[in-house]
Amino acid sequence: MIRSKPLVRRCYDLWCRLLLADADSVPEPWAGYPVLELGSGSSYIKEIRPDIITSDVAPGIADMVIDGRKLPFADNSLRAIFLTHVFHHIPDIEQFLREASRAVVPGGVISIVDETHTPFARFFFGKIHPEPYDDRAQSWSFAEGDAMLDSNQALTWIVFDRDRERFEREFPALIFEQRRYLPWFGYLMSGGVNLRTFFPAFLTPAVDAADNFLRRFDSVFAIHWHMTIRKAGAPALDQAQTLRKEARYLHSCFFRNDPPAEVVERYVAANMQYCAPSGGLMETIVALNLDAEAVELKLRCRKSPGILTKKIRILFYVLEVRSEYYPVFFGTSGKDEPRFRAVIGLLYGLLRTAAKYLKGAYLVRKHGLI
């Protein structure tokens, strides 16, 4: 089904890349350890990485039959665990997290694609989708019946957002590393895995442009997000590794696509030459998944540019010489652009900037980013 629908395949291709990037981020000496996918179902990730161990609760579907609450692996034996639309189906998340924390190596990851908690997601999953979405549930568990239908689609938000303090207290070995919204317009037009596609196949290439434009509304409409949970105990990242992670995160705050490898390396080189260590500011922004654009807009009002402004300028200097970024930096409209469109664009830009400033002011005050 996934392969037969180009828009759905496009989404799953992105999700696979994110999961595999998480697994590839695990440092030595564990980089060659096995990777487990839970609830594989119709997943085709094994076609991309044949050494991945696939699993499901039903026999005859994957390499192994595995219940996420009882992993048949030794302590510190897995490099990564992948869960795509699976986390919210596990009846006892606390037991799963205990098992995952035991089985994953130091520096290993639990990489999750699951449902968000945006206003539209709450409406869509709460009113339209057949599976339960209960963001008021006080328990992380739910009654077990049909393993393929029972769920609480709000679980990732409950565990890693609403109850973050509880998660950190009960699972000190697990670190919530990052969260990012995933493209949503194309997925909705695709009809998902089970429904009819609403978008003609020949218009599929236009979805990239639409998703990139609509990413500014992710906090309202996104229905999926990707989360990375990392087990503590890995060797500390050296400066270059930290800057690579920083470059990818800053890029994600402004652009939907992943940064080219050359851009990341040039960002690292420029930072090592022109920037002193940034202390806790960048670490806080990346760790808490804060909107770097909004924070920078607020901090820029100080008398002299701060380290965040400098780092964003470095990233943009590296990007603007690449042809694929010309439309972003220089625009695509000609000199004969209709005046009405220009005025609308200007008003939209002003309103967006005002909203970003207010968001930045809130984040700076809430997290003490001065």
Lowest mean pLDDT, pick from 136-140, 273-277, 297-301: 273-277
Site of tokens 């200007």? 346
Ranked by mean pLDDT, which of 107-116, 183-192, 258-267, 317-326 comes out on top?
Answer: 107-116
Which pLDDT score, from 0 to 100, does residue 277 have? 64
In angstroms, the CA 17 to CA 256 distance is: 13
Encode 331-362: b = buried (16+ Cβ within 10 Å), e = exposed: eeeeeeeeeeeeeeeeeeeeeeeeebeebbbe
Task: Give the mean model confidence (pLDDT) for residues 285-311.
Answer: 82
In angstroms, the CA 42 to CA 30 distance is: 28
pLDDT band for position 331 (50/70/90)? Answer: low
Task: Give the mean model confidence (pLDDT) for residues 34-53.
Answer: 93
Residue 334 pLDDT more than 80?
no
Q: Are 207 and 256 in contact (CB under 8 A)?
A: no
Q: pLDDT tens-digit profile of 191-221? A: 776 666 666 666 767 787 888 888 888 989 9
A 10 A CB-CB count for 29 gives 10
3-state DSSP assignment of residue 361: helix
Which pLDDT score, from 0 to 100, does residue 278 have? 58
Residue 370 pLDDT more than 70?
no
Residue 67, CA distances (Å) to 57, 80, 131, 239 in order: 6, 16, 20, 39
Q: pLDDT tens-digit profile of 5-23? A: 777 888 889 999 999 989 9
In angstroms, the CA 324 to CA 17 distance is: 20
Report which residue type is found at 102: R
pLDDT band for position 361 (50/70/90)? Answer: confident
Which pLDDT score, from 0 to 100, does residue 191 have? 72
In angstroms, the CA 94 to CA 84 distance is: 18
If you count them, how many residues does the chain have? 370
In angstroms, the CA 230 to CA 30 distance is: 13
3-state DSSP assignment of residue 156: helix
Which one has a higher pLDDT value, 346 or 262? 262
Percent of the chain with pLDDT over 70: 88
In angstroms, the CA 200 to CA 22 distance is: 33
In angstroms, the CA 185 to CA 207 distance is: 8
Which pLDDT score, from 0 to 100, does residue 123 have? 95
pLDDT band for position 321 (50/70/90)? Answer: confident
Task: Give the mean model confidence (pLDDT) for residues 327-339.
Answer: 65
Lowest mean pLDDT, pick from 1-5, 85-89, 243-247: 1-5
In angstroms, the CA 186 to CA 197 distance is: 10
Residue 284 pLDDT more than 90?
no
pLDDT band for position 158 (50/70/90)? Answer: very high
Which pLDDT score, from 0 to 100, does residue 138 have? 95
Report which residue type is found at 345: G
Q: Are 109 and 234 in contact (CB under 8 A)?
A: no
Which pLDDT score, from 0 to 100, does residue 125 have? 92
In angstroms, the CA 154 to CA 43 distance is: 22
Which pLDDT score, from 0 to 100, does residue 341 have? 76
Residue 35 pLDDT more than 70?
yes
Task: Give the mean model confidence (pLDDT) for residues 323-351.
Answer: 75
Ranked by mean pLDDT, which of 110-114, 316-320, 329-333 comes out on top?
Answer: 110-114
Which domains, from first to last, does the chain contain? 6-231 (3.40.50.150), 239-367 (no CATH)
Average pLDDT, the chain: 86
